[in-house]
Structure formats: structure tokens, C-alpha cells
Amino acid sequence: MALPSNFFSTQAVLVVDDIDTIRSAIKGMLQMLGCKEISVASNGDRAVELCEITKFDFILCDFNLGKGKDGYQLFEELKLRDLLKSNTVFILISAETALQVIHGIVELQPDDYLLKPFSYKTLEARLVRSLEKRKVLGGIYDALAVRNYKKALAECGKAGKEHQKYALPIMRLKGEVLLNLKQPKIALDLYNSILAHRDFSWAKLGKAIAFYHLEDYTESAALLTELCELPETRIEALNWLSSIYAQRECYSQAKDILVESVKLSPKNIPRQRALANLSLLEGDWEIAQRCFKTVLDNTRHSVHENINHHFNYIHCLLDRAKAGSELQQAKVFSQVQATLKSASLRFSKEQFYELEKIVSARMAIMRGALKSASENLTDCNAEIVIECGRDSALTLAKAWLELGNSDKYEEILALISFPEDDNSIEVMSDLLLINKVKDHNKEQIAKLLSLNEQGIKLYRSGLYPASTSVFLEAYEIMPNNTQLSLNLAQSMTKGWPVSVEFSKKKRIAKLCINVIESQPLDDMSKKRYSSFEQELKAI
């Protein structure tokens, strides 16, 4: 590609590296090319500040930037915040040859990747090559930047006629555009026409994705399984294959595939979140906790940093601790407090205080301090919690259910919404997890109501030991429900089943008293409780 002799003198260039000597060396090479407008940044935060002021033509960025953001996080943030021009050439530089780094960089699709050390001639050749490609595909990138897929499709047609040299990357972009336009059948025909001439792995991947959107999961899975063996398509093929297994409710297989995917590219936050969700579906608390911790650590300094990541990790710790001993719970509470302190220093106080109330309520429930838990949840602003996201809304709903209030649980659950037409594994895993929680709790609530009704009939028939036995079974499902505790308490003052250890009676009586007296009672319930309160406390 022939460039005007003064071309580079008109280009704005940013060099990002944490080592002074390397910044100076790269700047020297750029000056040899004729560059005059050269900015430098020693870290990711400074680079973002400069990009907020100037839309650079070229950015040369080292992968490892010391403390703070790395090159991966910087490029991701610049893309997501639209701080790059559609024709900006972004080149990542690194001495790293580890596969995890390479896979992560490839996923982000920078214009090029330079391995240190490199020469002035190599830098010049890469810049010219990237620039030529950007110039040819510029109209397509411009349309994609504003998600105008119809215009992008038209630009693909125009570029294809004028630049035969770039026919393959143009067809590759065209296939992606057709999928975004929800035209998988036309995309499939395009990929088949390409594959008829040459066996490109990217075309096979596009074909597999087209089959997925056509809901032909068998054909899609067969292609994806084959593509998992190729380094250039392995990560994306694993992701789509995981989605297929998740769609088929084969959660264990979906989870195992994602485990492989995150090993290859651990910095991908949505995928870590999806793996955490699938692990929760499977009851694999260890992997879920590890994923939430990875997300928490890797989003520091990242555009993905979010208050929910702190609280997802906290609630996973609490879920695991529910079945533990008091000593184990005390250790977890200490971890929770440390994570809360970190979150309090980093995020909006308004959001933090509302989410903290849910955590305080759940810990209070585990300690048996139900009055305190009730006060925290009652005082919690549900609107702010729901604005924080689906994760926070779900934990608020679950906290109300743990307190025995199924009406509030269903009220909050009904307010959780999902974006339309989002096929990402993260959103899908969110939906699957919430639906599983809904289905499981719906069954439990239905069983509870049935047992409660059965217990009432037995009590009214004077069969007190039998009614107590049924109420005990219901109590195991929802031990903190006020009305159920009233029913059980009243029944056990009349009779205790011979099949249940008598030593359990005293403990259950204490628990029932705690539940009944932790929340305000209506007049009828007060009158009823007073009629057997002394007998209950005498137990």
C-alpha cells in the first residue's frame, strides 16, 4: 500500500507502556516513520484519560502495564465505551507467549499483535498492513460501530466489488452481519458457498452458529465438536457448544465445557459469570465460589467492575455456609465483612447500603435473629436493589423466602426482567438459574401448602400427634414462616408423635417462639397465640 510521504506526520498516535525505556524506544521508531503527534501513557488509567480527550489514529499498547489495568482491560474498556474511532488501529504488544494470554488477545480482535522484541521495519510493515485493511473495511466498521446492520450489509457488497484482495475478510464480516440481522438461512448459504471452495475454520464456525440460530442443535454440535480441536476456533466453539448443552438442560456437560473455556481465556468476565451460574445449577459450590472470586479479582480496574460482583461472591459464601457448623459460619461471616468493607470503599453508598441490608438479613437468619432480619428486609429499598441488576433482585427474593415470606418472594421475583434477543451464555445461564430457583421453590411452596392443609384437617379432627407430625414435615421446608410456626406450636402443645424423638420437642418449641415473636402479628394471630403461649413456653 503506497502512502503519501507525509502520511504519518498527520496521524495521532498513543503509546502505552509502563517501562520508560520501552516507551522511548517505540516513540523513537514512530518518529523515524515521520510521526509528530505522539502521546504516551505509563498506565491504563492515563491512557483512558487521553482517549477521552483525543480519538487516536493508532494505539500501540503493551499487554502488561504493572499495577492497575492491563492491555486487555484497556482495549476492552476503550471498545465498550466507544473511545476508539471505527478506523483506529489498535496493536497489542507483549513478550508473553503463554496460551492464556494469546487466546485472550485473539478474542478481543485487535488489529495486530506484536511480540517483543521487534524492529522498526516490522513495526512499519504491521502498521501499513493494518491501515490498508482498515481503509478497505472502514465503511463496514463504521456501520457496525452504530449497529446499523443493514448499512453494514450494503457496505460489504460495495467493498466486495471494489477490493477482491479482501474478499475473504469481507465475506467473513458479511456472515456475521447476516446473523445479526437474524437471517441465519442466508448466512448458512453464504458459509456453504465459501466452504465449497476451501475449508476455512472461521466459515465452519459461522455455519455452526447459523445452525444454532436455526435451532438445528444436532448439526451445530457436530461442527462445534470438530472445531473445538482447532486452536483458532477452540474458545468460541466451546462457548457455543456449552450454550447447546445448556439449552438441552444438560447442565453438567455445559459446565464442564465452560471450565475448559475459562482455562484458555480466564479474563473473559461474562464466561466466568456463566460458569458460576451453571455451577450453582449443579450445586457445585466450590467452582461457583472460585468463579465469583475470579470475577471479583479480574474486574478490579476493568470496565466490568460492578458492585454486584462483590455481593455475588458474598452470597455464594453464605449459601455454602448455611449447612455448616457455627464455627464455620463465623469464619464465613468474617470473610463477608472483609468483602463488604472493600465494596463500601469503591461504590455508590446508596446502592451499597441497600445491598448490605440483604447480607445483614441473611446472616441474621442464620444466627436465628429473625427480628433483626425482618427489620433489615422491610427497610430495604427494592427499587434500588432491582436497579443494581438481576443478581441482586434474586438474592432479595431468596432472602424474603428464607424469612418465610413467600408473598414478598414472588413479588420481587416478578420484577426481574431479561434483555430480548440476547443469546449470550451469560444471559442464558442467568435465565436458567432464575427459572430453576422459581421451579424448585414453586414445588416447595405447593408442597408446604398441601401439608399445612392436611395438618389443619388432622388437628380439627383431634388427631394431634398426627397433625404435629405433618406440620413438622412442612416446617422442614420453611422453618421461618409465621403461620406455619403458629400451627406447629399449637399442635405440639396438644400432642407429640411417638415416632419423633421427645428431645427434639424442646428445641422446636424454642424455634417456633422465636419465629412467632420476631414479626408483628395480626389481631387474630395475637389472640390465637395468647391462647397457648404459656403451654408452649412451659415445654
Contact 306, 299 (CB under 8 A): yes
**Which helix (H) or strand (E) segment is 95 a member of?**
none
pLDDT of residue 362: 97
Helix 425-460 with 406-413: angle, nearest 10 deg:
160
Please tell me which residue, 464 or 102, carries the higher pLDDT value: 464
Q: What b-and-e string marks burial along 94-130, b requiring 16 or more CB atoms within 10 Å of the CB?
A: bebeeeebbbbbbbbebbbbbeeeeeeeebeebbbeb
Question: What is the average pLDDT score of the chain?
Answer: 90
The reported pLDDT for the residue numbered 103 is 47
Residue 18 near residue 43, CB atoms below 8 Å: yes
Q: How far is CA 336 from the centre of its chain?
A: 20
pLDDT tens-digit readout, 350-369 = 999 999 999 999 999 999 99
Asked if residue 427 lies in contact with residue 419, where contact means CB atoms within 8 angstroms, the answer is yes
Q: What is the pLDDT of residues 397-406, one digit of tens each?
A: 999 999 999 9
Q: Return the C-alpha cell found at 270.
A: 461474562
- Residue 24's SS3 state is helix
pLDDT value at residue 165: 83
Q: What is the DSSP letter of 230?
A: S
Q: Cα–Cα distance between 181 and 188 in angstroms, integer?
A: 13
Q: What is the pLDDT of residue 109?
A: 65
How distant, in Å, are the alpha carbons of 87, 104, 237 from that of 451? Answer: 66, 53, 48
Q: Decide: residue 6, CB within 10 A, 0-12 exposed, 13-18 middle, 19+ buried.
A: exposed
Q: Count other C-beta atoms under 10 Å from residue 357's C-beta.
A: 21
37, 50, 57 from 8: Cα distances, Å:
9, 19, 10
pLDDT in tens, 480-526: 999 999 999 999 999 999 988 988 999 999 999 999 999 889 999 99
